[in-house]
Chain A
Amino acid sequence: MPTELENIKAEVKDLNFYYGDVKALKGVNLKIPEKKVISLIGPSGCGKTTLLRCFNRMHDFYTNHSHTGEIILNPEGVNILDRKIDPIEVRMRISMVFQKPNPFPKTIFENVAYGLRVRGVTKRSVLLERVEKALTVSALWNEVKDRLDQQAFNLSGGQQQRLCIARALAIDPEIVLFDEPTSALDPIATARIEELVSELKKEVSILIVTHNMQQAGRISDYTGFMYMGELVEFGDTDKIFTNPKEKLTEDYISGHFG
């Protein structure tokens, strides 16, 4: 378990989430330590995406859902699920990388600069500096530095996903959410993203959903196993994979289902 010695960046408390009458999350409790990689694994439909999207209030765009419980964001200790908290503010601090690379049909530069533009940054020099930094951290700078003004959809799938990571990083978030970021990519592109995620934890806290257990094993410090809306087990990645406490976790890890 993340110990009290670590700084806790965010904490999920007794979170229940409903799509209409369907309960998609059941009493989830989870601590996100600062500057670590936390992965969520579990079979399809177990609620990983649902939980992830609570963190940046992505559910707000849709109707007919409800929740009880809290997600506390530190250091202020605010409950970001509170209706009184502006979701825009939450998303400025917690950004997200999606399952399928989704660059805007704009130039490479504008894609990365977008998060800054919406904050009112207009000075070209500032934008350029921040874009370069984000692209460098995303291990894309060398490949695109000569063609920042080209359309992003000309990049390969893996490059597009790294561009989306750069876009999520350019705004200096405190947590970055990844929802199966490599599921649409080939093995080589996947390896690069994994490498990148491991690097990133020097700067931000990372919550990554994956249905690929090996991936979770390779990149994360802590792993949570979810099953049918419950967080069955959460702990050190090594422990979860070698010596899980729950029978269910063991079955899943050894490939008995899912």
Chain B
Amino acid sequence: MELKTNYKRQLLINKIFDVFFKYLGLFFLICALIALLALIGNLVSEGFGRLSFQFLSSFPSRFADKSGILSAWVGSFAVMLMTALFAIPLGVASGVYLEEYAPKNKITTFIELNITNLAGVPSIIFGLMALGLFVYKMSLGQSIITAGMTLGLLVLPVIIVTTREAIKTIPVHIREASYAVGATKLQTIRYHILPYSAGGIITGIIIAMSRAIGETAPLITIGALTFIAFLPASPFISQAPFVSTQWMFDPFTVLPIQMFNWVSRPQEDFHTNAAAAGLILIVFTLTLTAVAIIIRNYFRKRIKW
């Protein structure tokens, strides 16, 4: 008798804990969601009215109602492009090398460890490094190419790590099937490893990009301008060879820096501008994330083993 009641009591306590933790978890989840929604709601209520064609197509100005984010979004776009050009080949190639070619020895382990560490280095440190290396040593100036390479380095670990994780999910028996009919390593990578891990790799790249697009500190560190009333040179020109790389060496600003500039002004109207620019930035990021999810689902359906 004694034993049985104890047993029941314990069961009741267990159940109470179960329920308690379930609602505790739910509570925290709701808190986080409310905070997020409040932030976005605040941005929308403050900035939505300011969104207009004029806002997207004007340079910043002394007058809040005449300013816009033209130079900022063009700059963000150009810097993202440069980041992608720099980080994608480097990151994917490093990931493939580490996963497929690197011998399993102490040096490789050391490199792997440092890549993981690199992912945790504060972004401003990358800015400082870039200021010393790209701006001064390599004399690339406070330009789009410097910014792209800085952010590229910043997100490189993310791309390397996701590339490796994506490759790791490919089963051994698929590799062996490829080798068993006489394929070389390179052919196996080209026909199998890369296509099958493409979903994961692209998702990683997009996540890396959406991180880079919001970065401010390292770009301010390398000396991005906060007020800029002109666009970088056009990549297309009228004489042969019809393309120009001049734009890479032009000064720039980006959306978060533009926002930072506006919120630091005393006038209320500039704060509205900042909120509107913030909305655009959030739309950018959410779009990137949505594209990542779509790509992931597309590949999930097509690849089965």
Chain A residues proximal to chain B, CB less than 8 Å = 56, 58, 61, 63, 88-89, 91-92, 95-96, 98, 100, 102-105, 114-115, 117-119, 151, 153, 164, 167-168, 170-171
Q: Contact at A104–B178, with CB atoms within 8 Å?
A: yes
Least Cβ–Cβ distance between B39 and chain A, in angstroms: 41
CB-defined contacts of B176 to chain A, threshold 8 Å: 58, 61, 96, 98, 102
Give the CA-CA distance A111 to B184 in the complex, in Å: 16
Scoring B104, B176, B181, B302 by chain A CB atoms within 10 A of each residue's CB, the highest score goes to: B181
Query: B174 and A102: CB pair below 8 A?
Result: yes
Residues of chain B within 8 A of A153, CB atoms compared: 304-305
Closest B residue to A63 by CB, please name it: B104
List B residues at the A interface (Cβ < 8 Å). 104, 171, 173-184, 187, 191-192, 196, 302-305
| Residues in chain A near residue B178, CB distance under 8 A | 104, 114
Q: Which residue of B lies closest to A87 (CB)?
A: B179
Q: Which of B180, B182, B183, B304 contacts A105 (CB 8 A)?
A: B304
Q: Which residues of A contact B187 (CB under 8 A)?
A: 118
- The answer to whether A56 and B180 touch across the interface, beta carbons within 8 angstroms, is yes
Query: Which residues from B are CB-within-8-Å of A114?
Result: 178, 181, 183, 191
B221 → A minimal CB distance (Å):
45
Q: Are A164 and B177 in contact (CB under 8 A)?
A: yes
User: Given A63-B104, A151-B302, are A104 and B180 neighbors across the interface (CB < 8 Å)?
Assistant: no
Say whether, besides A102-B305, A105-B304, A105-B305, A91 and B192 are in contact (CB < 8 Å): no
Number of A-B contacts (CB under 8 A): 72
Q: Least Cβ distance of B212 to chain A in Å?
A: 31
If A105-B174, A114-B191, A115-B182 are given as contacts, then 19 extra A-B residue pairs at C-beta distance below 8 Å, sorted by A number, are: A56-B180, A58-B180, A88-B183, A91-B179, A91-B182, A98-B176, A100-B173, A102-B171, A102-B173, A102-B176, A103-B177, A104-B178, A104-B192, A105-B196, A105-B304, A118-B181, A118-B182, A118-B184, A164-B177
Q: Which residues of B contact A102 (CB under 8 A)?
A: 171, 173-174, 176-177, 305
CB distance from B305 to the nearest CB of A (A): 6
Q: How far is it, in angstroms, between the C-alpha of A151 and the C-alpha of B173 when the chains are bound? A: 18
Chain B residue numbers with a CB within 8 Å of A63 are 104
Least CB distance, B266 to chain A, in whole angstroms: 60
In the bound complex, residues from chain B placing their C-beta under 8 Å from that of A105 are 174, 196, 302-305
A171 closest partner in B (C-beta): B181
Alpha-carbon separation in the docked complex, A89 to B180 (Å): 11
Question: Nearest Cβ in chain B — how far from A151, in angstroms?
Answer: 7
A95 touches B174 (CB 8 A): no
Tell me the complex Cα distance, A103–B191, Å.
13
- Which are the 3 A-B pairs with shortest beta-carbon distances? A115-B181, A92-B182, A96-B180
A-B contact pairs, 18 of them (CB 8 A): A61-B175, A61-B176, A88-B183, A89-B182, A91-B179, A95-B182, A96-B180, A102-B174, A102-B176, A104-B174, A104-B192, A105-B196, A105-B302, A115-B181, A115-B182, A115-B183, A118-B182, A167-B181
Residues of B within 8 A of A118 (CB): 181-184, 187, 191
Q: State in angstroms the CA–CA spacing of A98 and B179 once bound together.
A: 12
Could you tell me the distance between the alpha carbons of A117 and B180 in the complex, rounded to whole angstroms? 14
A residues in contact with B180, CB < 8 Å: 56, 58, 91, 95-96, 98, 168
Cα-based distance from A117 to B181 in the complex (angstroms): 10
Q: Is the CB of B177 within 8 A of A61?
A: no
Give which listed residue, B179, B192, B302, B303, contacts A58 with CB less than 8 A: B179
A190 to chain B: closest CB distance in Å?
20
Assuming A63-B104, A153-B304, A153-B305, is B181 touching A104 (CB within 8 A)?
A: no
Q: Which residue of A lies closest to B177 (CB)?
A: A102
- The minimal Cβ–Cβ distance linking A155 to chain B, given in whole angstroms, is 11
In the assembled complex, the Cα of A92 lies from the Cα of B187 at a distance in Å of 14
Tell me, rounded to whole Å, the shortest Cβ–Cβ distance linking A210 to chain B. Answer: 19
Contacts of A61 in B (CB 8 A): 175-176, 179
- For residue B183, which residue of chain A has the nearest CB? A118
> A91 and B181 in contact (CB under 8 A), knowing A61-B176, A98-B173?
yes
